[in-house]
Amino acid sequence: MWVMGFKPSENLNEEQIKSGLRLVIADGLAAESMVALTGGTFLVAMALHMGASNFQLGLLAALPTFSSIFQLVAIWLVQRYNNRKAITTIFNFLARFPLFIIGALPLLFTGGSSVYALLFFLFFHYYFGAVAGASWNSWMRDLVPVEQLGSYFSHRGRLTQILNVIFSLAIACVLDYVKAHYPQYELAAYSWMFIAGGAFGMLGIFMLGRTPEPRSSMTDANFFQLLQKPLKDSNFRKLLSFNSFWAFALNLATPFFSVYMMKTLNIPLSWIIALGIINQLSGIFSIKAWGKYSDKYSNKTIIRICAPVYIGSLFAWAFTGMPSQTYSIIGFLMLINVLSGISIAGINLAITNVGMKLAPKEAAIVYLSVKNMIVAFFSAIAPLIGGLMADFFASHELVWNFEWHSSNGVSLLPIVDIKGWCFFFVLGGILATYSLKLLTPVQEQGEVEKDKVVTILRTKFRHSVMRGNRQLSNKHAEAMITETAEN
């Protein structure tokens, strides 16, 4: 009887669609609160506090993406029951309930066994979440008007990122205070964070339960024939090749940024969170523009503009380990996070949207799920390889110095000093550069040449600056006239 309340609608009027889009944003805010409390840097810090090894950290980073393979279950369920709302809601409940159990782990276990228990329950969290996510993607594909994909999801993403910034900063301050004044309660603080995250997750489920679902028209073809359909689509297969290679390159490096800053650079947690906030703020201020331009031009063009900037920031990470003053390193990291935040916001939005555009409506869940699973496989094996090879690279170093010989002796000017995790940052940048070659053959309707869009963006930026200067000049002139009149 409960499931009958989630019956899809044959037709949705404009008001129902608008109401549904508002509820999806509310769910996004609740889900982002859950993620802020239970994921990212805080999850890594909790695992390190529990004594996690490099391999366990790699496994922790791989779990979310590895679990995406279970989206196969969502395809079967949607084909069998054709009720994405019920599937999404039920499996989100099953995914978020383990967060309450994880919150109790620090009280039940001590030592290394707690890390394995953490991984065990996180597996179920990500497994059920993958099934719910695949069903949700198909649901949103039909609920959100195609011509609004870029602007709507950029708006939703901006709001969730703003919330994440506020939450992350507040949590970091609380954790630093607890660590400084009540270190014996640090694990207990993480425990309550997971419990609060579970509560926000349940709030998001309530929002989803009120969101309308348009009836889907999924084919009744054989399950295995359905899975082969995206792979037989030449254009979609090209997108899979690019996205998989890109994901592997990035996940070879990015999951270890927090570990690198904590263990190698010895940067305090609050500073790491502050850098993450700078990254998110950069994305918040740029994602609206990326959404508008992706709708107006093409997602592929946005990727070709943003990707080189992000790749440059990956290479820049390798130079943060060179001997230098702490404040100069922090300043360099701030610049890196600004550039990477702006670029990755455009890349993530464009990759998601181009996948939705290339997926036919009647088989959207199959196309998107196959894409997510294949990309997830490459995303998962990358940090596992990184975790396994971390100990090897920890004992190796590449040094290139400039020597100046004079009567006073020899002066050394360090040019390159790469060691430890920095090797992964360089390798990730090289592989990401190669992946862009795989993007070129992908065909997207309405595609505009990158150089043309860059010229348009540059012109608009120049006009904005000139308009701003004219406004400043007018205000200055008005101030001088006022001052003269008063005298």
Is there a contact between 368 and 355 (Cβ–Cβ < 8 Å)?
A: yes
pLDDT digits (tens, 9 = 90+) for 211-239: 998 887 666 666 677 778 888 889 999 99
Selected residue with higher pLDDT from 302 and 398? 302
Identify the DSSP state of 451: H
pLDDT digits (tens, 9 = 90+) for 353-364: 888 888 887 777
Name residue 185's amino acid: Y
Range with the largest mean pLDDT of 194-198, 372-376, 385-389:
194-198
Our measurement of the distance from residue 94's CA atom to the centroid of its chain's CA atoms, rounded to an integer in Å, reads 23
Identify the DSSP state of 440: T
Is there a contact between 149 and 24 (Cβ–Cβ < 8 Å)?
A: no
Nearest to 386 by CA among 425, 354, 330: 425
pLDDT digits (tens, 9 = 90+) for 402-424: 667 666 766 666 655 666 677 77
Q: Is the pTM of this model over 0.75?
A: no
**What is the structure's pLDDT at 325?**
65
The pairing of strands 409-419 and 397-406 is antiparallel
Is there a contact between 248 and 381 (Cβ–Cβ < 8 Å)?
A: yes
Our measurement of the distance from residue 225's CA atom to the centroid of its chain's CA atoms, rounded to an integer in Å, reads 31
Task: Please report, rounded to a whole number, the percentage of residues in the chain having pLDDT higher than 70.
Answer: 80
pLDDT band at 1 (very low <50, low <70, confident <90, very high): very low
Average pLDDT over residues 193-207: 93
**What is the structure's pLDDT at 220?**
63
pLDDT band at 472 (very low <50, low <70, confident <90, very high): very low
Predicted confidence (pLDDT) at residue 460 exceeds the cutoff of 80:
no
- Which two three-digit tokens encode residue 86? 């019920």
**What is the structure's pLDDT at 246?**
93
At 107, give phi and psi (nearest 5°): -90, -20
Nearest to 121 by CA among 147, 158, 95, 139: 95
pLDDT digits (tens, 9 = 90+) for 308-348: 999 999 889 888 876 666 678 888 899 999 999 999 989 98
Exposed e or buried b per residue across 388-400, where buried means at least 16 C-beta atoms within 10 angstroms of its C-beta? ebbeebeeeeeee
Selected residue with higher pLDDT from 10 and 192? 192
pLDDT digits (tens, 9 = 90+) for 447-459: 666 566 666 666 6
**What is the structure's pLDDT at 482?**
43
DSSP letters of 239-273? HHHHHHHHHHHHHTTGGGHHHHHHHTS---HHHHH
**What is the structure's pLDDT at 352?**
85
Identify the DSSP state of 8: P
Nearest to 429 by CA among 440, 444, 414, 418: 418
**What is the structure's pLDDT at 312?**
93
**What is the structure's pLDDT at 172?**
81
Q: How much is the mean pLDDT over the chain?
A: 80
**What is the structure's pLDDT at 323?**
62
pLDDT band at 26 (very low <50, low <70, confident <90, very high): very high
**What is the structure's pLDDT at 215?**
81
**What is the structure's pLDDT at 283?**
86
Q: Can you state the angle between helices 14-38 and 98-108, rounded to 10 degrees?
A: 10
Report CA torsion sign: 180, 182, 183, 185: negative
Name residue 337's amino acid: N
Is there a contact between 99 and 125 (Cβ–Cβ < 8 Å)?
A: yes
Is there a contact between 339 and 285 (Cβ–Cβ < 8 Å)?
A: no
Average pLDDT over residues 254-261: 81
Q: Find residue 409's DSSP bridge partners.
A: 406
Give 3-state DSSP helix, strand, coil % of the chain, rounded to 5.
80, 5, 15
